[in-house]
């Protein structure tokens, strides 16, 4: 695999940081994007920038002009973008009723529309190139909707729907659009949890209102027992980049705890999806 131009979102921590570093280690040119690169994330931006294969860009995914400016800059410098990795996202938990419309807008603006903004800007260039890879980082919660994670699950279900349709739409044009479905990993996202603003309704739920906190404690216990390594996500990204064009799977699960359950669900749905596509005369897109 020759050097590729890789655009990664959310690289100030967690999966994005590891993905950027792993791609750079293989000699790829990485444009690592984040917010507040000169303020809150200045130290991390500076550290990433010490790698000669990484250039850090200030990008606000909730702003279409910011996204466009970044993509335009990369195209001007490199003349192409080979891989887009939509990793940036926010996590939310709590009673569904506590989330306001504004809370939901905030989550969807990053987890769904943020992905679409980068895809919308990158796709014309990839179509012109006749090749490209877009990896959208979803979640195992994009397949099953867990109680007390409804708003987060909603955003990931939507991302799955967008990606699944796009996968078949643009593959004939040489562009692969795929999903990565990670399980829970010990990253900085656990310190940035969004909760519902309408907290006055919590008292009406009694002991149920305590479940999200109990779930959090359970996840921490799982981390201690299984010690999942977030580098697995970056390794999966590299695997998808190395896979043959047009042969990359729509969904890749990376979860040592519940991954087998999700893989079974994915396989079952894929089988039925083929029947659905055939019924509507689109079987040629399955090849």
CATH class of the structural domain 5-286: alpha beta
The two structure tokens encoding residue 272 = 């039925």
pLDDT band at 224 (very low <50, low <70, confident <90, very high): confident
| Distance in angstroms (rounded) separating the CA atoms of residues 187 and 230 | 7
Chain segment 22-54, per-residue pLDDT in tens: 999 999 999 999 999 999 999 999 999 999 999
| pLDDT of 1 over the 70 cut | no
Q: Looking at residue 218, what is its pLDDT?
A: 82
| pLDDT of 129 over the 90 cut | yes
State how far the alpha carbon of 184 is from the alpha carbons of 129, 137, 151, 206, in Å. Answer: 35, 13, 17, 27
| pLDDT of 175 over the 90 cut | yes
The two structure tokens encoding residue 27 = 């000699």
Chain segment 235-252, per-residue pLDDT in tens: 999 999 999 999 999 999
Q: Looking at residue 227, what is its pLDDT?
A: 87
Average pLDDT of the chain, as a whole number = 95
Q: Give percent above pLDDT 70 in the chain.
A: 100
pLDDT band at 171 (very low <50, low <70, confident <90, very high): very high
Q: Looking at residue 136, what is its pLDDT?
A: 98
Ordered by start, the domain boundaries in the chain are 5-286
| pLDDT of 191 over the 80 cut | no
Chain segment 207-218, per-residue pLDDT in tens: 999 998 888 888
Over range 264-281, report the average pLDDT.
96
pLDDT band at 185 (very low <50, low <70, confident <90, very high): confident
């Amino acid at each position: 695999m020759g050097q590729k131009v890789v655009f990664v979102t959310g690289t100030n921590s967690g999966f994005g940081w590891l993905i950027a570093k792993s791609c750079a280690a293989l000699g790829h040119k990485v444009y690592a994007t984040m917010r507040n690169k000169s303020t809150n994330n200045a130290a991390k931006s500076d550290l990433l920038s010490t790698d000669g294969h990484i250039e850090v860009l200030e990008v606000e995914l909730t702003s279409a002009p910011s996204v466009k400016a970044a993509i335009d800059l990369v195209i001007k410098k490199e003349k192409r973008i080979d891989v887009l990795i939509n990793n940036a996202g926010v996590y939310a938990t709590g009673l569904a009723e506590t989330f306001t419309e504004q809370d939901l807008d905030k989550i969807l603006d990053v987890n769904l529309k943020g992905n679409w903004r980068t895809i919308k800007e990158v796709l014309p260039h990839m179509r012109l190139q006749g090749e490209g890879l877009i990896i959208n980082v979803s979640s195992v919660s994009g397949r099953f909707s867990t109680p007390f994670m409804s708003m987060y699950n909603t955003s990931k279900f939507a991302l799955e729907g967008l990606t699944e349709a796009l996968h078949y739409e643009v593959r004939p044009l040489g562009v692969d659009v795929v999903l990565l479905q990670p399980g829970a990993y010990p990253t900085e996202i656990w310190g940035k949890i969004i909760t519902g603003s309408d907290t006055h309704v919590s008292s009406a739920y009694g002991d149920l209102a305590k479940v999200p906190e109990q779930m959090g404690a359970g996840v921490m216990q799982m981390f201690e027992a299984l010690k999942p390594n977030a580098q697995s996500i970056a390794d999966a990204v590299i695997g998808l980049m190395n896979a043959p064009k047009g042969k990359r799977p729509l969904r890749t699960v990376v979860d040592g705890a519940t991954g087998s359950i999700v893989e079974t669900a994915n396989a079952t749905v894929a089988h039925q999806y083929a029947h659905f596509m055939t019924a509507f005369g689109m079987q040629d897109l399955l090849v």
